[in-house]
Structures are given as C-alpha cells and as structure tokens.
Amino acid sequence: MGIPASEAFAVSTHILKQRIKGNKRYPLVMMLEPLWRCNLACVGCGKIQHSEEILGTYMSPQECWDAADECGAPIISIAGGEPLIHPQIGEIINGFIERKKFLHVCTNGLLLERWLPRLEPSKYLTFTVHIDGMRELHDEMVDRKGVFDKAVAGIREAKRRGFRVSTNTTVFADSSPEQMRELFNFLMDDLDVDGMQVSPGYDYPKAPNQKVFLQRPQMIETFRQIFAFPERKHWRFFQTPIFLEFLEGKTAMQCTAWGNPTRTVMGWQRPCYLMNEGYVKTFDELINETEWDRYGYGRDSRCTNCMAHCGYEATAVKATIASPLEGVRAAISTMGGKKA
Amino acid sequence: MDVLIATPTRREADAIAGRARVIVTGTGGAADELTHAIKEQRPGVVIVAGYCGALDPSLRAGDVVISRMAAQAGSPELLPEKGLIDHVRDEFHRRKSVFVYSRLLTTVHAVASKSDKLALWNEFGAAGVDMETYPLARAAEDARIPWVAVRVVLDAANTALPASLDGWQEDGDERQALKRAALRPREWQSYGRLGLAYRRASKALPRAVAIVRAAAQQPWERDLSLPLV
C-alpha cells in the first residue's frame, strides 16, 4: 500500500481549484507544531531550543483544527517537538480525521506503542516515523541508545494493527550511501513500511552539532550514490520523482516556501518551516504580507544548503500536476511501487 | 547622484535610450570601456543593465533580477554597497514592482543549453547568467564607484538558446547567427520563442532601469569604508 489514491486526488483537485480561482500562492501541506517539547535532543535538530515556558506551551485541539480551517491545506503534517507527548494528541488526530484532512503524524516512535491502542486505522492517517539510519547510526544521531529498537517495535506494532506507516530519513554528513542503502532495504523488505521520505538535513544555526550538515554539492553527490544502487527501483518513496531527481542534481527547482506554511505554538512562523523570522497571528498575514521572493536558493544565504522536502516538494508537486507524464510517473512510483 | 548606465550591447542601450547617460561597453573589453567612461564622466553611481539568461527555474522572460552579488568562477564575489541596494529594493517595493534579489553569474561564453544552465544553478545558485556583470562591477569597484546591476531575463532556465547562437560574443555576431539559422529549419521554432521572450524582456528592461536609476539618484547612507573618488 502506498499513498492512497484519495490523498493524491485531494491534492490534485486542491491545486486545480486554486488555479481556477487565480490564487498565485496556496498551501499544500500545513506543518503543525502543537508543542515544541521533545523526549529526545537530536544532534541535528534546531527546533527545540526554547525556554521552559515555551516548551511547556501546548496548542489545544480546537486551536489545531482552527489553524487547519484557516489554512485550507488538504494535508496536515503534525510535527514538533514530539507530537505523541501532547496529552490530547488522540483527540487532535481524531478531530482531523473527522474533518477529512489527510494527516501525517511525524514521530520518533518512542511513544507509538502507547498510543496505538487508542487510535483506529484510517485512510486519512499516516504515522511517519523518523529513522536516520540502522541501530548504531540512528542512536548516535538522536543521542540516545535504544531509540532505534523502540521505533522499530512501534512500526511493527502499527503495521500489525493496520495503520499506514511511512518513515522519514534525514541524510547527514555522517550518513554514508552504503548505510542509507542498508536502511532503505531494511525499511522496505523487513519492516514492510508503506513508503519512505528522505531529505538532506537543514543546517539549523541552533543545532547542537554543526558538523553533521552537508553542503549542497556534497548532498547532490551523496544522493546520486544512494540512488545508483540497484535496489533503488524497489524502494518506494512517498515523494515525487521530480523531487528525488532534484536531490540528485538532475532537475533545477526553486523553493516554494509558501507551499508548506507552519503553525506553531507561537503563531504562524515566517517565512518557512526551517527559518524563523518571527510569527504572525493569521494565515492571511503570512501568505499575503510575506515578501516570498526574498527567499530561496541564491536569494538568501540561509537557503544555500537547503534542499529539504518542506521547501522543494511543493515545487515538485506543482510540476507533477502540470505534466500528465509526470503524474503517471508519480503514480507508478508511489501508489504502484512494489518491493523486491 | 550622477548616474552612468553601462550596457553590453547596442540593442540593450536602445531599449533604455533617452533616459540617462548610457554607454555601450561591448562584451570582451567591457571593463576597459567602463573604466575609460568613469575617468571621463566621473559618475556617482554605475548601473550595469541588460539582459541575462535565467538559471533560477522559477524565472520567466521579462523577470527582473537585482544583484545581491556578482559572481564569477575562481574570483571573489563582489557585493554592491548595502545602502544603495537597500534604496533600490525599497524603490521597487514602493512602486509594487516585482523583482528577485539574487546572485548574477558571469561566464566567458554564452550559456545556451539546459544542461549547462542546470549545472551552473547547482554550483552557484545564481538567478541569472550573463557575460559582463562581473568585469563591469569590478571596474566600478576599482574606481571606488558604487554599482548596482539590474538584469532582465531573456531566456528561461528550461529553454535552450538556438545552437547557431553558440559562440555569440558581440552585437555584430547576430547576423552571422541568423545566416546560419536560415539553413537550419529545426532552429526556427527556438528563434520564434526567443523573439517572443525578447518582446517581453525589452519592455521590462527600461522600466526596471528607470526604477534603479530613480533610487540611485536619491541620497543614501554611504558605506564609509568605500572612499569616494
């Protein structure tokens, strides 16, 4: 099972509707951070360096749903912090499902087994478990032993209960192509995940270890090597083929920061999920009063080494929808992909 | 502030004509031409203006690129004076005129193919590519004259220039290219696209230059580390 046809259809119709309305900028995925507290302190994370007061602030379920209504994106990605720490996360998830929003809950997996009995599988719900490598590498990147085993157990249990599970892998300087090959083979063949996402790490200035980040030319070379392995054709990614080609440097793309607007406990984050220039109260302010052309590769030095999917996947999705051939390719690689 | 506009070709100068002092620098010896003009005219600001090819795939013909910096392989990047560039950006905002603020890359040869554009985009992250901005900015810096470059996209990143334009260097080369193209019917469609793009770009160029010029003529806070002539 890959991306449900209904999710792909919802995104396609959303884009077509926006185009018919003549909207130049519109969201595809709302990044929701209902809390910033986390139960890990990963070496490449720049999200959780806040005061105790802010880390103790949680959005209410109603605030989460209101943000989604205000934004209008067909897909909600709940991140953080660790969303499964939120005491009302079950209520939040069920509320989104009732609203027929496609939901990706991005988790490190530590609390997954605790929540699974309280939730029902749904075509609207996907658990996206963060896995940066096999046991040794992953535990090193999250700076705690045993996390890999716990996450793997969570994935197995989620699959056993009939939930859709994908993984999200961040590629860092310490991740060799061979290690990524081993990981992707394990995720597809052993864990039988429904799909994978992959993205190079963003060089957060606040991240504890600045040495883990790749420079753009290194990223391209690393992804070329990863995707050159013969097993590549059996790896099913929940990402467009255009985005994966972009990671290999085969396609030129500019960032579409407004495609993935970010709602946090502090408000709507400007300008994107990774960079923080402050917050605005409404989605309308974010989309209409941000000087979007200021940001992107070549335009802002902070974007120089960013090839993250939260900025470029929206560009790739728009390009996919615009081309029938690309649409077919995307369908084959996600919905129709098969394992070895 | 007394403004001198430097354009590489007569065609670009004609698009801007009548609005300011414009010199045509050519391509090969562009820096020498500008250095000579600076000595003679002693301008307060140099505006490098003209067309460029887009490397940024989000740009289309007629889009405006303002120099965040000038880049050239193997050379240190050149930054326009912050006070001047802020002034230019503010003027674009005030007139609600769209632009991107990015790198401009200078190459020795015309960048014609899509694959070459992609490789340069991955390596330099420059919005536009041309053959003159860097030496002209260098000449202005050597003379301690503040500079700003404004380029208008002629060919988008996802389009290839006709092969007969390969080797293009100067104004006069166009006739030779067209003669070659006459014998290559496959290129006629490319020339048709280029012609349409040129119409858009030639309308956008004088508008953009007028905004930059208006901003440059107003006083701004000078960078004191850059002594005046």
Q: What is the pLDDT of residues A70-106, one digit of tens each?
A: 999 999 999 989 999 999 999 999 999 999 999 999 9
The yes/no answer to whether this complex scores an ipTM above 0.95 is: no
Disruptive mutation site among B67, B69, B79, B101 for chain A (greatest number of A CBs within 10 Å): B101
Q: Report CA-CA distances (Å) from B15 to A9, A52, B210.
A: 47, 60, 11
Tell me the chain B residues in contact with residue A298 when contact means C-beta distances shorter than 8 Å: 55-56, 68, 102-103, 124-127
**DSSP-derived 3-state class of residue B132:** coil
**Whether B85 contacts chain A with CB within 8 A:** no
Q: Cα–Cα distance between A12 and A20 in angstroms, integer?
A: 12
pLDDT tens digits for range A199-250: 999 887 777 777 788 889 999 999 999 999 999 989 999 999 999 999 999 9
Can you say whether residue B82 is alpha, beta or left, with left for phi > 0 and alpha for psi between -120 and 50 degrees? alpha
Closest by alpha carbon to A313, among A104, A119, A99, A125? A104
Could you tell me if B57 and B17 are in contact, meaning their C-beta atoms sit under 8 angstroms apart? no
Question: Does any CB of chain B come closer than 8 Å to the CB of residue A220?
Answer: yes
Instruction: Among A251, A253, A298, select the one facing B126 at the smallest CB separation.
Output: A298
| pTM, rounded to two decimals | 0.87
B191 touches chain A (CB under 8 A): no
Which residues numbered 107-136 in B keep a CB inside 8 Å of some CB on A? 117-118, 121-127
* Residues A62-76: tens digit of each pLDDT: 999 999 999 999 999
If residue B207 lies in a helix (H) or strand (E), which one and from where to where? helix B188-217
For residue A217, the chain B residue with the least C-alpha distance is: B123
pLDDT tens, residue by residue, B109-122: 889 899 999 999 99
pLDDT tens for each residue of chain A, 340 residues long: 557 788 889 999 999 999 999 998 999 999 999 999 999 988 888 777 888 899 999 999 999 999 999 999 999 999 989 999 999 999 999 999 999 999 999 999 999 999 999 999 999 999 999 999 999 999 999 999 999 999 999 999 999 999 999 999 999 887 899 999 999 999 999 999 999 999 999 887 777 777 788 889 999 999 999 999 999 989 999 999 999 999 999 999 999 999 999 999 999 999 999 999 999 999 999 999 999 999 999 999 999 999 999 999 999 998 988 888 888 887 777 654 444 3
List the domain boundaries for chain A. Answer: 5-334
> Which chain A residues have a beta carbon less than 8 Å from that of B101?
293-294, 299
Beta-bridged to residue A104, according to DSSP, are A77, A126
Test A299 with B55 for CB contact under 8 angstroms: no
CB contact under 8 A, B101 and A293: yes
Query: What domains can you pick out in chain B, each with its CATH number?
Result: 3-216 (3.40.50.1580)
Q: Give me the total of CB pairs closer than 8 Å, taking one residue from chain A and one from chain B.
A: 51
* Topology classification of domain A5-334: TIM Barrel (3.20.20)
Sequence-ordered list of residues with C-beta below 8 angstroms from that of B12, at least 6 positions apart, any chain: B24, B49, B50, B51, B205
Neighboring chain B residues of A296 at a CB cutoff of 8 Å:
56, 58, 100, 102
**How many angstroms separate the CA of residue B122 from the nearest CA in chain A?**
7
